[in-house]
Amino acid sequence: MKPSNSSIVAKVANFLIQTLNEGYIEELAKTTAFVKRQSKITGYIFAMMMTFELRQQKASSLEELSTRLGLEGIPISKQGLDNRFNESSVIFMKLLTENALSSKLDRAQVLDNAIPFNRIMIKDSTVFQLPTTCSDKYVGCGGGASEAGIKIQYEYDLKCKEGINISAQPSRSPDNKHYLKDIQPNDLCLEDLGYFTLDHLGDIIDKEAYFLTRLKYGTTVFIKKNNQFEKLNLDMLVSKMKEGQIMELDVLLGQDKKVPARLVLERVPNEVAAKKRRKLKMDKQNKRKTISKGRLAFCDVNAYVTNACIKLLPTALIRTIYSLRWQIEIIFKTWKSIFNLDKVNPMKLHRFECLNYGTLLQIIICTKVFNYYKTILWNNSNIELSELKSMKCILSMLLHMKTHIKSGAIKRIKDLLKTSLNVLIQKCKKERKKGLLTPMMIMNQLTLA
């Protein structure tokens, strides 16, 4: 039986009230020592201020924030407010954000296109520069970039539409030090080359899960013939392939590791290869390097490796399934273009971290509401929502709802949710580009296969 709109709205309302519950937040503030005694700024007031403080080109100054609090009957000087940004407040906001990420919006259904994997796990990172006041903790990449920069790592389950983990590191920290950790049996892990290590691929196999990734150029590849390991000359193999040709081989990866995998090579059109070469040369990390002829020639193919059998991942669908990884790039785009995550004015480190966790909490709340709506609408009506259009709508709704959440006005919250659901259905559908499949359609293909 399909859930009614009223039951959908009721579940979202309960999630919002529980996530931003004053009693729960105050208890967390005491646990983290943000609140040690009675204070003008309670944990709830502070959390709501950080969560609903919009990050714009010009963030609110301490004077403006203290004035706003004064108008709400909370008199505090800008210096007194500044003192509340400390190590305890950062721990408090971090824990509040992590708890919100791990909480489940009460959903009886996942995607009806129940593909043959437990989860489809995607991980990637997004980077932005910070004021030099943050450089002691968040070291930048140097060169022409800022002295300070932050990298946000995000793990996401595309099948169940759930964020799994979120963490922050200095922008200088390499991705392959932060690859997927929460891997369960029968997961499919989609990661880009930044996370490619043979140890990681071996770990996925040990956990009885599956990987699908591009092959990193320079990786030693063997094939087994007559119980002997024979090194594969990939450069020669690629040079003999014709446009549109797809080749598949059972291989072992690594001089020492010998990780078993299926290698799928797809010769791309010349214009696509030329575009890949231009992008390779323009990459920031390559600008000062000499790129080998072999590496440039390798742009002639898409090269994928997976440990999933052909029944689970048909060869003809490999490229299409790997393209699902780009969903996380769309997520990052909403973080920056809608929530302004990368807009940071000069401020002390603790204030930035509190603001950053508050913005991430805002993002997590909106994302969970969006994912719930997206799943239900797809299962009920085959309506697929656009991330960019929908997140704008949901953020606007959340900001209008702030006062009602504080007062616990459930009817007003439900009215706003009902209105937002109708707007999503009418205005926020994903537009299908001619000749291209949407993510939901791609997963349906995998199910049918």
DSSP string over 285-322? GGTTSPPPHHHHHGGGEEEEEE-S-TTTS-GGGHHHHH
Q: What's the whole-number mean pLDDT along residues 110-123? A: 75
Between 35-39, 406-410, 431-435, the lowest mean confidence (pLDDT) is in: 431-435
**Which pLDDT value is given to residue 111?**
55
Whether the per-residue pLDDT at 424 is higher than 60: the answer is yes
**Which pLDDT band, with edges at 50, 70 and 90, does 188 fall under?**
very high
0.85 surpassed by pTM: yes
Whether the per-residue pLDDT at 8 is higher than 90: the answer is no
CA distance 345 to 50: 15
Q: Could you report how far apart the first and last alpha carbons of the chain are, in Å?
A: 27
320: phi > 0 → left, psi -120 to 50 → alpha, else beta; which? Answer: alpha
Which string of b and e fits 317-352 if b means at least 16 CB within 10 Å?
Answer: ebebbbebbebbeebbebbeebbebbebeebebbbb
CA distance 362 to 65: 18
pLDDT in tens, 214-226: 999 999 999 988 8
**Which pLDDT value is given to residue 449?**
54
Which token pair is 35?
């609140």
CA distance 341 to 366: 14
**Which pLDDT value is given to residue 99?**
93
Q: How far is CA 367 from CA 51, 259, 314, 399, in A?
A: 14, 36, 31, 14
Q: What's the whole-number mean pLDDT along residues 98-118? A: 71
Which token pair is 11?
């579940």
Reported residue count of the chain is: 449
* Residue ranges of domains in the chain: 5-105+332-427, 215-311
pLDDT in tens, 41-50: 899 999 999 9
Whether the per-residue pLDDT at 137 is higher than 80: the answer is yes
45 φ, ψ (degrees, to nearest 5): -60, -45
Considering only residues 311 and 54, tell me which one the structure prediction assigns the higher pLDDT. 311
**Which pLDDT band, with edges at 50, 70 and 90, does 121 fall under?**
very high
Q: How far is CA 79 from CA 36, 45, 65, in A?
A: 19, 17, 11
What percent of the chain is helix, strand and coil (3-state, nearest 5)? 50, 15, 35
Q: Which one, of 449, 120, 114, lies nearest residue 309 by Cα?
A: 449
Give the distance, in angstroms, between the CA of residue 371 and the centroid of all CA atoms in the same chain. 13
Whether the per-residue pLDDT at 289 is higher than 80: the answer is no
**Which pLDDT band, with edges at 50, 70 and 90, does 143 fall under?**
low
Q: Locate all alpha helices (DSSP H) within 298-432, ordered by sequence.
A: 318-322, 327-337, 349-381, 387-407, 410-427
**Which pLDDT value is given to residue 57?**
58
**Which pLDDT value is given to residue 58?**
63
**Which pLDDT value is given to residue 284?**
54
Between 138-142, 201-205, 340-344, 351-355, the lowest mean confidence (pLDDT) is in: 138-142
Whether the per-residue pLDDT at 1 is higher than 80: the answer is no
Q: Which one, of 54, 363, 92, lies nearest residue 64 by Cα?
A: 54
41 φ, ψ (degrees, to nearest 5): -100, 100
Between 72-81, 100-109, 230-239, the lowest mean confidence (pLDDT) is in: 100-109
**Which pLDDT value is given to residue 106?**
59
CA distance 85 to 183: 35
Whether the per-residue pLDDT at 204 is higher than 60: the answer is yes
**Which pLDDT value is given to residue 33?**
94
Which token pair is 402?
């702030």
Number of Cβ within 10 Å of residue 7's Cβ equals: 12
CA distance 3 to 380: 8
CA torsion sign, 233 to 293 to 277 to 267?
negative
Q: What's the whole-number mean pLDDT along residues 238-247? A: 93
**Which pLDDT value is given to residue 2?**
67
**Which pLDDT band, with edges at 50, 70 and 90, does 287 fall under?**
low
33: phi > 0 → left, psi -120 to 50 → alpha, else beta; which? Answer: left
Whether the per-residue pLDDT at 110 is higher than 60: the answer is no
**Which pLDDT value is given to residue 227?**
82
When the pLDDT of each residue in the chain is averaged and rounded to a whole number, the result is: 88
pLDDT in tens, 345-402: 889 999 999 999 999 999 999 999 998 888 888 888 888 999 999 999 999 999 888 8
Number of Cβ within 10 Å of residue 41's Cβ equals: 19
**Which pLDDT value is given to residue 11?**
87
Percent of the chain's residues with pLDDT above 70: 93
pLDDT in tens, 331-344: 999 999 999 999 99
Whether the per-residue pLDDT at 308 is higher than 60: the answer is yes
